[in-house]
């Protein structure tokens, strides 16, 4: 990788892609090779105690590489893109103080990635009021209250929403519908003006195979025990985290609402749907250079290709 950037010039190596694309393993490999640190850009990795179902880096991996963006809040606490950006900027400051090389930013949560590249516009008072009311209804009545609210005020917007079970998407849609303006996260530069970042691209059949393997590993690797422990700690009251892929299905199985096979199958379906949404987001909202990878390539080979791209193009500017 190129030499360390000046601390006054906020830059980072970005590696994005859909879930199960192997980007985290590549980032881990490169960070170990280059004595760098990693900033996670994954909305579910911020939650304490949610480890197996989120494929959070293991204790051994975290012992070898300094990580930021993990275990920031309890599952029942609210967390937003603005809160992530604030934590990320603090991570950049800490990394600079430690004289680490440019951070490797890795993840599949497009909103988090874009908040770093293009920044976030401040919310208007009207948007803030709508968000507060939406969060109150979500906590008191559940996600159905947000679905009913949006379908009532803007049926067309509700019908076009890709993921009607995602509370954050519902909240952003409500902000747009009720405030008569784009939500704060939409006030960015055009995609073609955004800094270029690198992403891993698999063929869908191979990506789906990887997803199936991951789901199997989650359920046989302790996910049920993890969810049982979370439920005992009040996980049912977590407005967003309890709906996370794998966790909702594991909880349903533990409540005898479905079989284990059904829980695993639903988890795989939802994960495939997430991967497609992530790819759509990155295509339309970020300026991504896609690196084609396949099952014949090892993690080291993919990492070498990523490193070569970074050496050629340099680290990506971060909106300070």
Residues 214, 161 share a domain: no
Residues 223, 206 share a domain: yes
Residues 166, 207 share a domain: no
pLDDT number for residue 193:
67
pTM of the model: 0.84
Dihedral sign for Cα 102, 103, 104, 109, please: negative
- Using one digit for the tens of pLDDT, what is the confidence trace for 277-318? 999 999 988 999 999 999 999 999 999 999 999 999 999 999
Residues 211, 95 share a domain: yes
Please report whether residue 204 resides in a domain. yes
**Is pLDDT of 180 > 90?**
no
C-alpha dihedral, 54 to 55 to 60 to 63, nearest 10°: -60
Please report whether residue 189 resides in a domain. no
Give the pairing of strands 104-107 and 67-68: unpaired
Contact 95, 88 (CB under 8 A): no
Please report whether residue 1 resides in a domain. no
14-28, 55-69, 118-132: least confidently modelled range: 118-132
**Is pLDDT of 3 > 60?**
no
Q: Residue 128: which pLDDT band, with cuts at 50, 70 and 90?
A: confident
Mean pLDDT, residues 73-100 taken together: 93
C-alpha dihedral, 19 to 40 to 277 to 226, nearest 10°: 60
Please report whether residue 271 resides in a domain. yes
Contact 275, 211 (CB under 8 A): yes
Total number of domains constituting the chain: 2
Residues 200, 175 share a domain: no
Mean pLDDT, residues 258-270 taken together: 98
pLDDT number for residue 185:
45
Mean pLDDT of the chain: 90
Give the pairing of strands 67-68 and 196-201: unpaired
Contact 149, 157 (CB under 8 A): no
Distance CA 228, CA 49 (A): 11
Q: For a pLDDT cut of 70, what percent of the chain falls above it? A: 92
Domain that includes residue 15, residue range? 11-120+195-317
Please report whether residue 6 resides in a domain. no
Closest CA to 161 of 151, 276, 228, 138: 151
């Amino acid at each position: 990788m190129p030499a360390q950037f000046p601390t006054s010039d906020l830059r980072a190596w970005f590696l994005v892609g859909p879930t199960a694309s192997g980007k985290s393993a590549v980032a881990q490999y490169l960070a170990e090779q280059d004595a760098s640190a990693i900033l996670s850009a994954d909305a579910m990795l911020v939650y304490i105690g949610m480890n197996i179902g989120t494929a959070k880096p293991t204790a051994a991996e975290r012992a070898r590489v300094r990580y930021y963006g993990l275990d920031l809040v309890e599952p029942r606490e609210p967390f937003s893109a603005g809160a992530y950006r604030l934590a990320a900027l603090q991570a950049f400051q800490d990394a600079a103080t430690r004289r680490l090389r440019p951070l490797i930013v890795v993840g599949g949560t497009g909103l988090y990635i874009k908040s770093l590249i293009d920044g976030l516009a401040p919310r208007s008072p009207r948007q803030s009021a709508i968000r507060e009311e939406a969060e109150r209804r979500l906590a008191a009545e559940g996600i159905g209250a947000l679905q009913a609210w949006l379908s009532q005020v803007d049926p067309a917007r509700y019908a076009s929403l890709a993921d009607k079970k995602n509370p954050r998407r519902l909240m952003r849609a409500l902000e747009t519908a009720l405030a008569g303006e784009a939500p704060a996260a939409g006030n960015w530069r055009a995609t073609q003006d955004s800094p270029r970042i690198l992403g891993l691209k698999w063929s869908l059949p191979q990506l789906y195979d990887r997803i199936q393997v991951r789901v199997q590993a989650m359920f046989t690797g302790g996910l049920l025990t993890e969810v049982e422990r979370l439920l005992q700690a009040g996980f049912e009251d977590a407005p967003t985290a309890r709906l996370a892929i794998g966790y909702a299905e594991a909880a349903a199985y533990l409540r005898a609402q479905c079989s284990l096979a059904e829980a695993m199958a639903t988890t795989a379906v939802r994960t495939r749907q997430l991967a497609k949404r992530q790819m759509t987001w990155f295509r339309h909202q970020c300026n991504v250079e896609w690196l084609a990878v396949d099952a014949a390539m090892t993690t080291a080979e993919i990492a070498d290709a990523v490193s070569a791209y970074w050496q050629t193009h340099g680290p990506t500017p971060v909106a300070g």
